[in-house]
Amino acid sequence: MASALISRSSRRFLKPCSSSVSLYPAIFNPVISSQQSASQNPSQNPPFKLPQLQSFNFEFRKTTGSLSSFHLVAHVSTWPSKENKNHQSGGNVSSSWVELYLPRKVQPYARLARLDKPIGTWLLLWPCMWSITLAATPGHLPDFKMLALFGCGALLLRGAGCTINDLLDRDIDTMVERTKLRPVASGLLTPFQGLCFLGFQLLLGLGILLQLNNYSRVLGASSLLLVFSYPLMKRFTFWPQAFLGLTFNWGALLGWAAIKGSLDPSIVLPLYASGVFWTLVYDTIYAHQDKEDDLKVGVKSTALRFGDSTKEWITGFGIACLGGLAVSGFNAEIGWPYYASLAVASGHLGWQIWTVDLSSRADCNRKFVSNKWFGAIIFGGILAGRLSS
C-alpha cells in the first residue's frame, strides 16, 4: 500500500512541465537540461556558458499532510570554488588569514593596517631588536619584556603609518595598479573611518610608550613627526626611500634608550645609519614595482632617480650598511660570532642585489620580502656575540 502511494506521488511530481522539458534530465544531468532548454526556446534562453557544477544536492522535505506531499528539491550551486578562482585567474588568487578568520566588518581595518602583509612589521621591528640586544649585559640574554613591548609597538606603529599613508595618498592610490584596491582608495572605508581607526592605533601605541622610561617617551614621541610627514615626501623629492629609512629605523635609537636610559652615539648612530642604508636597498627594489605607475601619476622615487644605474647605487648602500653594522658592533665590544653573521648577511644582501630582476614586479617583491631574513641574521649574530662577550 505504501509503495503504491509513493509510486502515485512520484508520477504526479515528475509529470512534464509546461515547457515540455522532462525533469528526469534535470535531476540526473543538469547540463543536458540546460542545453535542451536553450535549444527549444533560443529567444528566451540565449546561449551561455554554464558555470562548473560544484555541488548537486537532493533534499527531501516533508510538509504537513499525507505521504503524497513529499517534494524533491534539487539545489544546484554554481558558485566557483577557490580552486576554480585560482584556475581562472592563473593560480594567483589566495586568501590571507584576514579573509579566512576575521569577521567581514573587521577585514577592511585589518587590511588598512596591513595585518595581511607582516613584512613591514618585521622590517620595523628588526632595528629595535638589534638595539635592545646590543644594550644587553655581556653574557646575558636581552630583556624579553622589552622585546615583547617593542614587538607590539612595531605592529601598532606600522599599522598607524600605513593608515596615514592611505589617507594622504587615497587619490594617488586609485591610479596605481598595486594600490587601487586598498580600503580607503576603493571606498570600503571612508576617510573619517580611517581617522577613527588611526586614533585607536595611536592610543594603544601610547599605552606601550608610557611603559618606557621618560627619556624613551620623549624620543619615541618625536618619531611621530617622521611618521606623519613621510607619505608626503614622494611628492617633493626623488628620495622618499631615504626618509622612510629615517622613520623605520628610529627603533635603533629607541631600543637602546629603553634599556640604558640614554644614548651612546658611538654605538647607536652607526647602527641607525646602517638601518637607513639597508632601507635604501630594499625599498628601492620595492619601488621598481610601481615605476611605470609613478611616472604616470607624477610621484617620485629612488627607482626613477637611479633608473638603469639602480644596482650600482644599491650596491653602495649595501656596503655602507654592512660597514655601519661592523662599526657599531666594534664599539659595543661584541664577540666574534657577530662578525661571522655579518659575512652571512653580506652574502644574502649580495644575492638580492645581483639576482633581482628590476623589470619583474614579482621578483622585486620576492627580494623585498626576503629582507626579513637579513634582519634575522643580524639579530642572531648580535645575540650570539653578546652572549659570548
Give me the CATH number covering residue 282. 1.10.357.140
The arithmetic mean of pLDDT across residues 199-209, rounded, is 95
Asked if residue 245 belongs to a domain, the reply is yes
Task: Report pLDDT for 135.
Answer: 96
Asked if residue 2 belongs to a domain, the reply is no
The arithmetic mean of pLDDT across residues 326-334, rounded, is 96
Please give the C-alpha separations between residue 18 and each of 21, 22, 48, 70, 76, in angstroms, as whole numbers: 8, 10, 22, 21, 21
Over residues 221-267, the pLDDT tens digits come to 999 999 999 989 999 999 999 999 999 999 999 999 999 999 999 99
Asked if residue 54 belongs to a domain, the reply is no
Task: Report pLDDT for 357.
Answer: 96
> For residue 301, which of 311, 312, 287, 314 has the smallest C-alpha distance?
287
Backbone angles phi, psi at 219, to 5 degrees: -65, -40
Q: Domain residues for 274?
A: 105-388
Asked if residue 21 belongs to a domain, the reply is no
Task: Report pLDDT for 101.
Answer: 87
Asked if residue 305 belongs to a domain, the reply is yes
CA angle in degrees (0–180, nearest 5) for 173-178-180: 40
The arithmetic mean of pLDDT across residues 294-302, rounded, is 91
Task: Report pLDDT for 376.
Answer: 97
Bridge-based pairing state of the strands 55-62 and 70-77: antiparallel
> For residue 238, which of 276, 169, 284 has the smallest C-alpha distance?
284
Q: What is the pTM of this model?
A: 0.75
Position 92 pLDDT exceeds 60 = no
Rg (CA), the chain: 30
Asked if residue 205 belongs to a domain, the reply is yes
Asked if residue 75 belongs to a domain, the reply is no
* pLDDT > 90 fraction of the chain, expressed in percent and rounded: 66
Domain count, the chain: 1
Task: Report pLDDT for 181.
Answer: 87
Task: Report pLDDT for 94.
Answer: 57
Asked if residue 121 belongs to a domain, the reply is yes
